[in-house]
């Protein structure tokens, strides 16, 4: 916010550059590194309505991500259970859930959409229009990630039955995004 205030005082309307980096080391070697640069329009940090819209977008993403994760857990549980009357072990459910990478698929789809939302919000100054576009991005990410999760279970009768038993959960998530 300080940078935005300085930019406003000096009449400098250029975007504020954010630079973030991280390393994932393992003993003496680097396994993964990432460096990103993003630009924020100063108005985004100064307007209470734009800050509130940003916070609402993040809340929607967290709520949707949490609901999506729970739905995928139920999908995996249903697939593991198959025709058995016995419930699968929660560790097995989590292992399957981790192996299909549905959460990574969901969040990976949202990152570019979030930065697009931030840009639109900062340049248009219209929180409602930007939030509507964000809801559309959440809907698309949820649908795509759910379809990826379902596809990763296969196309046999067991997978089709599991998807059929749990597809209503996707519908509930999509309905909460729109409200």
Q: Residues 126-154: pLDDT tens digits?
A: 999 999 999 999 999 999 999 999 999 99
User: Given a cut of 90, is residue 56 above it in pLDDT?
Assistant: yes
The whole-model pTM stands at 0.84
Helices (H), the chain: 2-10, 43-46, 48-81, 90-100, 102-124, 127-152, 157-178
* Domain match, 60 and 96 both: yes
- Average pLDDT estimate for 24-49: 81
Using DSSP bridges, classify how beta strands 16-26 and 29-40 pair: parallel, antiparallel or unpaired.
antiparallel
For the stretch 83-140, pLDDT in tens is 888 999 999 999 999 999 999 999 999 999 999 999 899 888 899 999 999 999 999 9
Count CA atoms within 13 Å of residue 1 on its CB side. 5
* Domain match, 125 and 92 both: yes
Q: How many CB atoms neighbour CB 113 within 10 A?
A: 18
* Domain match, 2 and 67 both: no
What percent helix, strand, coil does the chain show, rounded to 5? 70, 15, 15
Structure confidence at residue 5 (pLDDT): 67
* Domain match, 173 and 102 both: yes
Helix (H) or strand (E) segment spanning residue 24: strand 16-26
For the stretch 161-175, pLDDT in tens is 999 999 999 999 999
CATH of the domain at 69: 1.10.132.100
* Domain match, 29 and 79 both: no
Structure confidence at residue 4 (pLDDT): 65
Taking the C-alpha atoms of residue 160 and residue 171, their distance in angstroms, rounded to an integer, is 17
Cβ-proximal residues to 157 (8 Å cutoff; 6+ apart), any chain:
none
Q: How many CB atoms neighbour CB 114 within 10 A?
A: 20
Structure confidence at residue 69 (pLDDT): 97
Strand partners, 40: 16
Count CA atoms within 13 Å of residue 23 on its CB side. 6
Range of 116's domain?
48-178
Question: Which is more confident, 6 or 145?
Answer: 145
* Domain match, 28 and 112 both: no
Q: Which of left, alpha, beta for 23 (phi over 0: left; psi -120 to 50: alpha)?
A: beta
CA dihedral sign of residues 122, 112, 31, 102? positive
């Amino acid at each position: 916010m300080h940078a935005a205030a300085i930019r406003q005082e000096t009449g400098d309307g250029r975007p504020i550059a954010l630079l973030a980096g991280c390393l994932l080391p393992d003993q003496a070697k680097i396994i993964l590194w990432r460096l990103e640069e993003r630009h924020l329009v100063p108005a985004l940090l100064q307007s209470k309505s734009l800050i509130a819209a940003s916070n609402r977008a993040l809340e929607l993403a967290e709520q949707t991500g949490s609901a999506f994760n729970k739905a995928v857990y139920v999908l995996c549980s249903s697939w593991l259970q198959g025709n058995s009357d016995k419930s699968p072990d929660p560790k097995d459910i989590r292992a399957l859930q981790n192996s299909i990478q549905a959460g990574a698929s969901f969040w990976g789809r949202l990152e570019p959409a979030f930065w697009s939302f931030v840009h639109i919000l900062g340049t248009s100054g219209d929180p409602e229009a930007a939030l509507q576009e964000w809801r559309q991005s959440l809907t698309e990410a949820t649908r795509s990630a759910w379809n990826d999760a379902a596809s990763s279970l296969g196309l046999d009768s067991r997978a089709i039955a599991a998807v059929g038993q749990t597809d209503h959960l996707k519908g509930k998530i999509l309905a909460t995004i729109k409200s």
